[in-house]
Amino acid sequence: MLRFEHVSKRYPNGTVAVDGLDFEVNEGELVTLVGPSGCGKTTTMKLVNRLEEPTSGRILLDGEDVSRVDPVKLRRRIGYVIQQVGLFPHRTVLDNTATVPVLLGRGRKAARQRAAELLELVGLDPAVYGGRYPDQLSGGQRQRVGVARALAADPPVLLMDEPFGAVDPVVRERLQNEFLRLQQEVRKTVLFVTHDIEEAVRLGDRIAVFGEGRIEQYDSPAAVLGAPATDYVASFVGSDRGLKRLSVTPVERGDLEQPPVVHLADSMATARERMRADGVRWAVVLDEDDVLHGWVSAGDSGASGEERERESVGTVAGHARRMEAWLRLGSSLKTAFSTMLQYDAGWIAVLDEEDRLLGVLTPSTLHEALRRSIDADTRSVERSDVELETVNGA
């Protein structure tokens, strides 16, 4: 879809901003470019939409050399979102968003209709925000308008240069989540510049780690964190990369425990029987629609016969306790861990997309999943040790 072939850029003052870039971005892929200030990330972006021209090499968009495409036509195919959003201060949010469709010759009415849809898509109610002016918005809201505007021409490619750099960390995380959800819907080919490794890891399908005008590693987030290709990458991702890795390691089916499951309408005698059969002292409780309700305990094992008798009376509904912590399958181990801490819970239900219970995560299964993630790290270290030994032994 987008391909860099031996691309270099030397500015007239002699600065070599990028030096022999070779990489490819697939259609619908979100690639983050990460690296310290001045390593050439912004220049790389500007070469794509021809705000800068390469000194050597070429860039292909859908197989076509961008240097042969008229820059104005090219930029219609490429949305551009920058940190200083650059909204027109004297136009309303709706008109700002409709700017490009109007330029593209869409009727004003159709363009505004589309703009309203896009504002909706980025989480701004057009009825509330459409008539406001940019200075009547928060920084985060302005960024959303910037994203809506970039999407307005429905370009297949989006270039985003630190779009969430100017907002506080909480708003930033919200914008990142919203953007991920939006990207699931629109599936653009995205180049996203950031100097924040956490942001790169959260958003990227792949990450290009830049150092001094070159790509040091181009890989999945898990690989960049788990097996940094060079010392430079290792120091850039930080010594807490094991922890960062939690945010890219998903909860998998194999991690789940399967406690007995009972329904609110079941009798307690049935519930106790199931727990006894499984050798456990609690069961997950679902309501009549199979939606998570909570849990029920088998009761105190030291209870007298009479007490046990009482505990067995009636339905599960009379004994069940609420438990609302749950996760989707595929959530990160980091989310699992923080949910468990937040609810101070001994277990968390894991649900599928249709809210059906798939199993539960307990501290011990979470621990195993953490091990799985850390082992993957250690294995990659061992592998390089082995290579060294082979070299030394030869």
Ligand X SMILES: Nc1ncnc2c1ncn2[C@@H]1O[C@H](COP(=O)(O)OP(=O)(O)OP(=O)(O)O)[C@@H](O)[C@H]1O
Q: Could you list the residues that contact ligand X (CB under 6 A)? A: 11, 13, 15, 17, 35, 37-43, 195
Least Å distance, CB 390 to ligand X, is 37
The angle at the Cα of 357, spanning 277 to 317, to the nearest 5 degrees, equals: 65
Complex with ligand X: residue 21 or 118, whichever CB lies closer: 21
Least Å distance, CB 32 to ligand X, is 13
Least Å distance, CB 45 to ligand X, is 8
| Sequence-distant contacts of 265-268: CB under 8 A, at least 24 apart | 265/315, 265/316, 265/317, 266/315, 266/316, 267/314, 267/315, 267/316, 268/296, 268/311, 268/312, 268/313, 268/314, 268/315, 268/316, 268/318, 268/319
Q: How many CB atoms lie within 10 A of CB 180?
A: 12
Least Å distance, CB 199 to ligand X, is 13
Complex with ligand X: residue 11 or 88, whichever CB lies closer: 11
Least Å distance, CB 11 to ligand X, is 3
Complex with ligand X: residue 42 or 49, whichever CB lies closer: 42
Least Å distance, CB 150 to ligand X, is 18
| Cβ atoms of residues 262 and 316 within 8 Å | yes
Complex with ligand X: residue 19 or 255, whichever CB lies closer: 19
Least Å distance, CB 18 to ligand X, is 7
Complex with ligand X: residue 198 or 257, whichever CB lies closer: 198
**261-263 and 157-161 beta bridge pairing:** unpaired
Q: How far apart are CA 150 and CA 157, in angstroms?
A: 10
Max Cα separation, the chain? 91
Complex with ligand X: residue 93 or 191, whichever CB lies closer: 191
Complex with ligand X: residue 41 or 244, whichever CB lies closer: 41
Q: How far apart are CA 228 and CA 371, in angstroms?
A: 19
- Could you give phi then psi for residue 215, rounded to 5 degrees? -90, 120
Least Å distance, CB 167 to ligand X, is 17
Complex with ligand X: residue 7 or 369, whichever CB lies closer: 7
| Cβ atoms of residues 360 and 259 within 8 Å | yes
Least Å distance, CB 68 to ligand X, is 23
Least Å distance, CB 14 to ligand X, is 8
Residue 92: which residues within 8 A CB-CB, separation 6 or more? 130, 131, 132, 133
Q: Give the dihedral sign, CA 55/57/59/65.
A: positive
Q: How far apart are CA 90 and CA 96, in angstroms?
A: 9
Complex with ligand X: residue 43 or 332, whichever CB lies closer: 43
Complex with ligand X: residue 35 or 134, whichever CB lies closer: 35
